[in-house]
Structure 1
Amino acid sequence: MNRRAVLTLLASPILALTAGTGWVRGQSGRNPYYSGPVSDHFDGQRFFNPNTNVDKTASELARFLLGTPREDWPKAWPSPFPQDKPPAEVRDGVRVTLIGHASYLIQTGGVNILCDPIFSERASPFTFAGPKRVNAPGIAFADLPKIHAVLVSHNHYDHMDTATLARLVRRDNPRVIAPLGNDTILKAAIPNISVEAHDWGDRVEFAPGVVVTLVATAHWSARGLGDRRKALWASFVIETPKGRIYHVGDTGYAEDANFTAHGKTYGPFRLALLPIGAYEPRWFMQTNHMNPEEAVMAFQRLGAEQAIGHHWGTFRLTAEAVDAPEKALADARAKYGLAETQFQAFRPGQVLEI
C-alpha cells in the first residue's frame, strides 16, 4: 500500500480512528479530555454505550480495510437543489436546511443553530488526503445568517470540523454545545471558542421556547490513534415553538436501545433528522451506523411525524454506492407502508419549513 493510500485510511473518521491502541473496551490509560465521576456510561477512563459494544478487534479492522469491495463514487455529484439563501431569522415557525452530510441550519424562535457544521473540502485531519466532498455545501458560508448556537454531536472529523468552527468563532462567536470532553479538544484547537460540555440528560436553553437536551446514542469517539471513547458522543432533542426535533449525527440502531425510550421521554417529535448512510458492510458497520431500513424502524419507534435522512451522498466513508442510501430508503418506505413525504432523503440545499 503506498503512502497516499495509508494516509487516506488514517484520515477516515470511520476507519483509521479505530487504529492504534483503542480497539478493546476497558483499555487503561489517562484520559486527556475529561475527569469526572464514574457513571452508567463512564468507567473512570472511557465512555461506553450501556447497551451495545461498538469496539472492533485488529483482525476485524484488517478484514474491513483489505477485504471489502467498495462501489465507485463519482468525483462530483452535485445536488439538484441550488444553494439556499436563508433569511436572517425565523421567529414564528421552523426552517431546516441540509448543508450536507450531517450539517444542518435550523432556524426557529429567532435563534440560528448549526448542527455538526463542516464546510471543509475533506472530512479529515489532512488537507491532502481523506474523504473529499463531492458536492458543494447547501448554503455558501458567506450566506449563513448570524449563527447563535452550534451543536457538535461527537469528535469524528466528519462531524467536528475545527476549521469551520474557527471561521464561525471569528465571524459570530456562537455558543457551542458539545458532549463531555469535547470542550478540551475544541479549546486546544480554537482557544477563544465559547464551548460548553454537557452530559446525557442535560438541558441547555438558548431562548424562550428554544431548548436543547443531550441524549444517549449508540456510537463512539476518537480524534487520534490513542483516544478512543475518551470524549462523549450524543444526539440532541431540540425544543422549538412548533414542536420538538430529534437530531442524530451518528448512531447504530442497537436493537432499539434508545429510540422507543426517547420517544416516550422526550416526544412527541414533529421532525426526526436521522442518518441513513455509511453502513456497508453490515458485519462491520452495524453497531456504528444505521442503514436506511433501520432508520425507518427508528423513525417509527420514535413516533415522529416526519423524518429527513442525512449522512449520505457528500463524503465517501464506507462501501456502498453514492446513491444506494436513497434507493434503500425508498425500498424501506415501501416495506413499512410510509409515504415519501414522511421520510425523505435530503440533498444539500433542500429546505423544510414548518
Structure 2
Amino acid sequence: MSRGGRGDEVAGAPLPCRDGANGAAASPPRACALRREPAEGRASAGHQPQRAAEAAEAAGALAGASRPRPAVRRGRGVLRRRPLTAAIVPVLPELCPRPAGGLARRGVHSDIVRRPVLAFLALGAVGLVSACAGVGREPLPGRPAHHVEGGFRNPDPTFTRPGGWTRWSFFVRRVWGTTFAARSYEAPRVANDGGALRDGTVNPSVTWIGHSTLLIQVDGVNVLTDPHWGERASPVSFAGPRRVTPPGLAFEDLPRIDVVLISHDHYDHLDLSTVKRLAAAHDPLFLVPLGLGPWLEERGITRVEELDWWQSRTHRGVTFHSVPAQHFGGRTPADTNRRLWASWVVAGRDRRLYFGGDSGYFDGFKAAAERLGPFDLAAVAIGAYVPREIMERVHTTPEQAVQAFFDLRATTLLGIHWGTFDLAEEPLEEPPGRMLAEARRRGIDPTRAWILKLGETRRW
C-alpha cells in the first residue's frame, strides 16, 4: 500500500487490526483486511448466461455466510430442515408482483430478467437471514472504542439496525422496483465541459457531479469524493438502483485528480469500475477508512492509504482528516462492518470543508466542529431517508442536515446524496425543497443554503 510521495506527511499511523479467526494482531503500520471477497465484475446487458452467472456469484457470496445447521429430530425419525430458499421464494410474488406490460413494451421478455433477479433475491435472503453476526460489540482491550472483534462499530454503543426481515423486505422492494418499475427524474443541470476546472480559474471551488460525488479544488489540489460514474449502485449489472440522471461532468472532462476520498464501501459510494478508471487515468492517492486498503489492492489499486477516525494526512499542503460518521459498512451481508466508514474534513491554507458521506444524525457533527471547525462549507446528505424504520439512524433527513449545519458551525450548507440513484422511497425531487424550507424557517441566509445543479461549480 503506497504511503504517498515526497513532501507528504502522515499524522497518526493506522492501527493494526485483529484477525477475526484467531485474534492475532496484524503487522503495523497498515490495517489488515478482515475478510477477502471475490472480485466484482459487470456483464453486458444483453448476455443472459453471464447475467445468470452474476446472480449466482453475487448471491453465492451472500449465502456464503450461512452455516450448516443440524437436522431436527422428531420422535424416531429425522426431519430434515427445509431449505431456506424454499420458504422464501413463495413470498416473492407478493412482494414483487409481475409488472403490467412494462418490460413487454420495451421488447424484453420478462422471464429472461425475472429469473436471475428472483435467484438473486432468494439467495440474498439466505445471507440476510442466516448470516453470522459478523463482528463483536465489545471494544477490544487497549484499542479505540469503535474497534471490535472482527471489525468496527458506531460511536454510540446502543446503535442497532432493524431486524433481518425488515431489512430484507425493503431490499426486495427496492431491487424489484428499481429493476422493473424504475422511477424517472431529471435533476436540474448546467452544461460543463470542464475547461475552467482544468484551468483552475475558480479556486477554491466545488462542483456537484451527482449523488455524493464532488470535485473539490483548493490550493491547487483537485479532490474527488465518493466518485461514481457507473450506471447502477449494485453488485450486478442487471438489477438494483439505476442512475436516473447522467453525471454532471463527463469522466473525460475531469481535470487532473490528485486525491480521492472514499467514505465507505456501499455501492452508491464506492463504484469499482469508476475507481479503476481513475487509477488508470490519473493515478491519484486514495484515502480510505480502515479495511478498504487491502480490498482495493486486491483489485489492482495500490496507491492507497487507510486512516482511522481522527487521523490525518497532508498531501501537497492540503490536510485530510478522517472523522466519525454514524453508518455501517459492507458489500454483502457476510462482511457487514468489517471495513470502517467515515466522514472527511478537507483543510487548505485558509478554507475548510466538511464532507459527510453517509451518516445519521448524531453528536459527531458537534465533535468535528469542536476539534476541526468551524467550516466554510458543509456537504451533508439530504436524500434516502424513507422508510424511517430503515433509514433513521444511518441517513439524515433534510431537516436534520440543517441542524448538522448548525452543529458544524459552518458558513454554507450544501445538500448532497439526492436525485441520482433511486435508493429509497421518498419522491426523488423532494429533498431539496425540504432542505431549503427548513433553512428558511431556521433563518439561514438564502445565499448560504446551496442546492447545486448537476455540473454546477461554485466558489466557496
Q: TM class by shorter-chain length?
A: 0.7 to 0.9
- Whole-Å separation in 2 of the counterparts to 1:292 and 1:314: 16
Letter in 2 for 1:196: E
1:243 Cα shift?
Answer: 1.3
- Whole-Å separation in 1 of the counterparts to 2:200 and 2:416: 23
State the SS of the aligned residue for 2:298.
helix
Q: 1:41 aligns to what? A: 146
Quickly say closer, same or farther: Cα 1:111–1:298, change in 2 above 3 A: same
Q: 1:139 aligns to what? A: 249
Q: 2:375 aligns to what? A: 269
Post-superposition Cα deviations, 1:255-291, rounded to whole Å, max 9, x if no partner, equal xx21112111111100001100000011220101000
For the 8 Å contact 2:185–2:429, the answer to whether it is kept is no
- Whole-Å separation in 2 of the counterparts to 1:58 and 1:126: 22
- Whole-Å separation in 1 of the counterparts to 2:143 and 2:383: 33
Q: Structure 2 length as normaliser, TM-score?
A: 0.68
State the SS of the aligned residue for 2:411.
coil
Q: Larger % of helix: which?
A: 2
For the 8 Å contact 1:98–1:105, the answer to whether it is kept is yes
Whether 1:310 aligns to 2:435 is no
Quickly say closer, same or farther: Cα 1:338–1:163, change in 2 above 3 A: same
Quickly say closer, same or farther: Cα 1:73–1:342, change in 2 above 3 A: farther
Q: 2:442 aligns to what? A: 336
Letter in 2 for 1:169: A
State the SS of the aligned residue for 1:305.
strand
State the SS of the aligned residue for 2:145.
coil
The structure with more radius of gyration: 2
- Whole-Å separation in 2 of the counterparts to 1:234 and 1:39: 15
1:346 Cα shift?
Answer: 2.4
For the 8 Å contact 1:273–1:310, the answer to whether it is kept is yes
Post-superposition Cα deviations, 1:163-196, rounded to whole Å, max 9, x if no partner, equal 001111111111000000011111122x243111
1:37 Cα shift?
Answer: 6.7
For the 8 Å contact 1:90–1:111, the answer to whether it is kept is no
- Whole-Å separation in 2 of the counterparts to 1:11 and 1:259: 38
Among 319, 335, 339, which residue is 1:211 paired with? 319
- Whole-Å separation in 2 of the counterparts to 1:178 and 1:343: 28
For the 8 Å contact 1:179–1:214, the answer to whether it is kept is yes
Quickly say closer, same or farther: Cα 1:66–1:42, change in 2 above 3 A: same
Q: How does 1:174-253 map to 2 (within 5 A)?
A: 174-189=284-299, 191-208=300-317, 210-253=318-361
For the 8 Å contact 2:187–2:419, the answer to whether it is kept is no
State the SS of the aligned residue for 2:437.
helix
Whether 1:326 aligns to 2:429 is no
Whether 1:111 aligns to 2:221 is yes
1:153 Cα shift?
Answer: 0.6
State the SS of the aligned residue for 1:160.
coil
Between 1 and 2, higher relative CO (CA 8 Å, sep ≥ 6) is seen in: 1
Quickly say closer, same or farther: Cα 1:335–1:232, change in 2 above 3 A: same
- Whole-Å separation in 2 of the counterparts to 1:185 and 1:243: 32
Post-superposition Cα deviations, 1:283-309, rounded to whole Å, max 9, x if no partner, equal 220101000000000001111000110
For the 8 Å contact 1:212–1:237, the answer to whether it is kept is yes
Q: Percent identity?
A: 34
Letter in 2 for 1:221: G
- Whole-Å separation in 2 of the counterparts to 1:175 and 1:220: 24
Letter in 2 for 1:90: G
Q: 1:83 aligns to what? A: 192
For the 8 Å contact 2:383–2:398, the answer to whether it is kept is yes
Among 451, 456, 460, which residue is 1:345 paired with? 451
State the SS of the aligned residue for 1:306.
strand
Q: How many residues align?
A: 342
For the 8 Å contact 1:89–1:108, the answer to whether it is kept is no
Of residues 176-185 and 334-343 in structure 1, the stretch that sits farther from structure 2 once superposed is: 334-343
1:36 Cα shift?
Answer: 11
For the 8 Å contact 1:96–1:105, the answer to whether it is kept is yes
Among 270, 285, 308, which residue is 1:160 paired with? 270
Letter in 2 for 1:330: L
Quickly say closer, same or farther: Cα 1:4–1:295, change in 2 above 3 A: farther
Query: Unpaired runs of 5+ in structure 1?
Result: 29-34
- Whole-Å separation in 1 of the counterparts to 2:311 and 2:298: 24
- Whole-Å separation in 1 of the counterparts to 2:223 and 2:447: 24
Of residues 276-285 and 84-93 in structure 1, the stretch that sits farther from structure 2 once superposed is: 84-93
Query: Unpaired runs of 5+ in structure 2?
Result: 1-91, 93-113
Q: 1:32 aligns to what? A: none
